[in-house]
Amino acid sequence: MRDTDLFQMALGLVPPWLVSDSRFDAEKKRLDIDIDFTKGGHFDCSGCDKPDCAVHDTVQKEWRHLDFFQHQAFLHARVPRTKCDECGVRLVNVPWARPGSGFTLLFEALAMTLVTAMPVRAAGRLIGEHDTRLWRVIIHYVEQALARADFSKVMRIAVDETASKLGHNYITLFVDIDERRVLYVTDGKDAKTIEAFADDLEAHGGDASRIKEVCIDMSAAFIKGVTENLTEAQITFDKFHAVKLVNDAVDKVRRAEVKERPELRRSRYLWLKNERNLSADQSAQLGSLSAMNLKTARAYNLRLAFQDIYSEPSRAWGELFLDRWYSWARRCRLEPMKQVALTIKKHRDGILRWFDSRIANGLIESINSLIQAAKAKARGYRTTRNLKAITYLIAGKLELRLPT
């Protein structure tokens, strides 16, 4: 069997396409395969799919293919341009590569498989390609998969922001709680992000009026965006965010008191962590400090009581204990705790909604950690567009339809 016949079979080429020649350079570790078409061949129009169009002229093209053993392989072809009565002169779509790409379909499938498991730059080094070219491939497949996505069954979502780069630069993530997938990613963290999500939801077969539950933090912008654009949704304020607000107030009390009570130095995380997460030495230290007449210890007890509200068996009990907690916090003579109590009171209904919806942003926080871990491995991304593409790739559960 001739080498051209072997490569033709390996590439799966059918008439009028054929392998006309091959060249192997051992020094450059490179294999070049020439593809041609039979004289008098006719092709479908790439614009309207009209069959049997005559060839007008040809254009020389090159594509990177899967490596031949450890050697880089390239396909070269005289690609015809057909003359169509409807579309005019159009370049033919070749079966081994998508239009406009410098890679074969199989090479792109390999690249997409690698970038789901490692940073794009590392994947580029592994296969000998610049990461900029790989980003074009990633964005193409991600955008194609997003265009096919169906959001018609989405009814419960979680919303949260994450840092896109240093400084006050954020992207906002919208997650389908039931399917545990990222639905939409957009720049910023204001009310317009909710509006943009509602528009994108409609574009993917969803209906903003079918969204019944939304879990958000207590951001005024998010509240406004949900109220104006997801009008049928009940808001649940994320319990982890609510507890964090109380934690921050405890830390403010500690920072003010440490100036007078030096024993509080280097004790910050003792008051912020749950006791089950402390070591034996830390637990002993916390017990010793709690026994002292410290303002921080009083604030800490308020924090523990607030957390316990979420362990109540029903909304009625939760409502009772939240109101009692509010009364206690307002009378505690600790200004940061009094202020956070006002914030909790203002958002009381959304906090108590948790007893009905039982949803929280734990899922979206875990997705955020995956995104930040990927960003750290890659040492950041050049553009927000790249970060969005990786977010969808990692957590979007996309149907990429890679060639095999």
pLDDT digits 0-9 by tens, 101-110? 999 999 999 9
- Structural contact between residues 209 and 232, judged by C-beta atoms closer than 8 angstroms: yes
Boundary-marking domain end, from 71, 102, 133: 102
pLDDT band at 1 (very low <50, low <70, confident <90, very high): low
Residue 52 lies in a domain: yes
Distance CA 55, CA 71 (A): 34
pLDDT in tens, 24-50: 998 889 999 999 998 888 898 988 988
3-state helix, strand, coil in the chain (%, to 5): 50, 20, 30
Asked if residue 35 belongs to a domain, the reply is: yes
Residue 309 has pLDDT above 90, yes or no: yes
Q: Residue 262 domain-assigned?
A: yes
- The last residue of one of the domains, among 102, 120, 144, is 102
Q: Which of 102, 136, 159 is the last residue of a domain?
A: 102
Helix (H, G, I), strand (E, B) or coil at 23: strand
Specify if 321 maps to a domain: yes
Other CB atoms within 10 Å distance of the CB of residue 19: 22
The C-alpha atoms of residue 241 and residue 259 are separated, in whole angstroms, by: 28
Dist CA 344 CA 358 (whole Å): 18
In a domain, 78, yes or no: yes
Q: How far apart are CA 141 and CA 390, in angstroms?
A: 11
pTM here?
0.87
Give tens-digit pLDDT for 274-297: 888 888 998 999 899 988 889 999
Domain membership of residue 62 (yes or no) is yes
Domain span including residue 35: 1-102
Give residues with Cβ within 8 angstroms of 302, minimum separation 6: 246, 250, 325, 328, 329, 332, 334, 337
Per cent of the chain over pLDDT 70 is 99
Return the bridge partners of 84, or none: 88
* Count of beta carbons in the 10 Å neighbourhood of residue 270: 20
pLDDT tens-digit series, residues 226-243: 999 999 999 999 999 999
How big is the chain by its Cα radius of gyration, in Å?
A: 30
Q: Is residue 74 part of a domain?
A: yes
Closest by Cα among 109, 185, 96 to 140: 109
In a domain, 97, yes or no: yes
pLDDT band at residue 117, thresholds of 50, 70 and 90? confident
pLDDT of 167: 67
From CA 327, how far away is CA 380, in angstroms rounded?
Answer: 46
| Count: domains in the chain | 2
